[in-house]
């Protein structure tokens, strides 16, 4: 399937379809069962033309399990949700249970993770706020055995319906996508930038939007931990723009006759083609 939007904004990378599937594609990239990996690394490979697959044993990390819709994977974090809440905020070295779990983490995990576990990633001020954030996440049970990241060009809409379509956009392209998402809509908040893991802004949160009567697009890859794993494959200047399938179809239908065919946008996109 080709995208009018991708052509109109001179999209460099492949738009990525996120698909619930009962089948595992032959030759797809996949993490080894139980091994850590960043879901957004796989996303970056899909944006470069490859197919990646995940299941309940191969979602890479705890946030990735949540982000792909495999339930509350934070419960499987070392020490459970309490230790995760400290990990994301102030660290686990300030309370006894956290220190005890941390000793095991030192032996089983790499130096970087062990340091973050004990000292905290400091993305949130305190553990209570982390727990509130987890409670706000629309955590869901698996919708299928597999979740695929697949280049949109390889999707056959006659037998596959993506849950989400995700563009990798620079500042100009992101601006165009925001305008297009609002083009035929009432209101001015048809695009959101929630605070969440990179994988959650291409999966879980757009999945939620897809269940609403007026789905919004989700801007993501503001997760600096995920950006470490995408910048070499995609470039440092990109964010993600995820559209539930119905919104993507709506936006595709509105390319013709829109600002994308007018001189102001062309003055921005033409230098990129030279």
The residues that bridge with 29 in the sheet, in sequence order, are 52
Instruction: Based on the fold, state whether residues 56 and 79 are members of the same structural domain.
Output: no
Whether residue 120 lies inside any domain: the answer is yes
- Residue 248 falls within a domain, yes or no? yes
Q: How far is CA 127 from CA 6, 73, 85, 94, 144, in A?
A: 41, 17, 5, 12, 32
Domain co-membership, 218 together with 120: no
Q: Which of 136, 157, 190 is the last residue of a domain?
A: 136
Provide the residue range defining the domain that includes 230: 19-68+140-273
pLDDT by position in tens, the chain (length 274): 999 999 999 999 999 999 999 999 999 999 999 899 999 999 999 999 999 999 999 999 999 999 999 999 999 999 999 999 999 999 999 999 999 999 999 877 788 999 999 999 999 999 999 999 999 999 999 999 999 999 999 999 899 999 999 999 999 999 999 999 999 999 999 999 999 999 999 999 999 999 999 999 999 999 999 999 999 999 999 999 999 999 999 999 999 999 999 999 999 987 655 4
| Residue 28, CA distances (Å) to 25, 76, 146 in order | 6, 26, 12
Name the residue with tokens 């890479």.
60
Residues 60 and 81 in one domain: no
Given 111, 136, 161, which residue is the final one in a domain?
136
Examine residue 186 and state whether it is found in any structural domain, yes or no. Answer: yes
Q: Name the 3-class secondary structure at 39.
A: helix
- 12 inside domain: no
What domain count does the chain have?
Answer: 2
Same domain, 173 and 40: yes
Task: Please check whether residues 121 and 173 belong to one and the same domain.
Answer: no
Q: Are residues 116 and 192 in the same domain?
A: no
Q: Does residue 256 sit in the same domain as residue 161? A: yes
184 in the same domain as 128: no
Residues 107 and 205 in one domain: no
Please tell me whether residues 145 and 230 are part of one structural domain. Answer: yes
């Amino acid at each position: 399937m080709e995208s009018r939007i991708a052509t109109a904004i001179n999209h460099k990378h492949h738009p990525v379809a996120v698909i619930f599937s009962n089948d595992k594609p032959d030759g797809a990239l996949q993490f080894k069962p139980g091994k850590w990996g960043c879901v957004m690394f796989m996303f970056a490979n899909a944006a470069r033309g490859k197919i990646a697959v995940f299941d309940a044993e191969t979602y890479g990390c705890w946030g990735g399990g949540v982000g792909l819709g495999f339930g509350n994977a934070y419960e499987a974090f070392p020490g459970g949700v309490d230790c995760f809440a400290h990990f994301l905020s102030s660290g686990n070295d300030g309370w006894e249970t956290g220190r005890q779990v941390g000793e095991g983490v030192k032996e089983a995990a790499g130096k970087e993770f062990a340091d973050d576990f004990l000292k905290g990633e400091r993305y949130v001020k305190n553990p209570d706020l982390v727990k509130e954030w987890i409670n706000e996440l629309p955590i869901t049970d698996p919708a299928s055995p597999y979740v695929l990241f697949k280049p949109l060009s390889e999707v056959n809409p006659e037998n596959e319906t993506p849950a989400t379509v995700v563009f990798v956009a620079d500042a100009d392209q992101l601006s165009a996508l925001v305008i297009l998402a609002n083009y035929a809509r009432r209101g001015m908040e048809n695009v959101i930038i929630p605070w969440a893991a990179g994988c959650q802004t291409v999966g879980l949160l757009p999945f939620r939007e897809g269940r609403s009567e007026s789905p919004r697009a989700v801007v993501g890859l503001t997760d600096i931990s995920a950006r470490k794993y995408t910048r070499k494959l995609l470039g440092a200047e990109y964010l993600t723009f995820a559209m539930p399938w119905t919104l993507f179809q709506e936006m595709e239908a509105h390319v013709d006759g829109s600002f994308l065919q007018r001189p102001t946008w062309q003055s921005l996109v033409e230098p990129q083609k030279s």
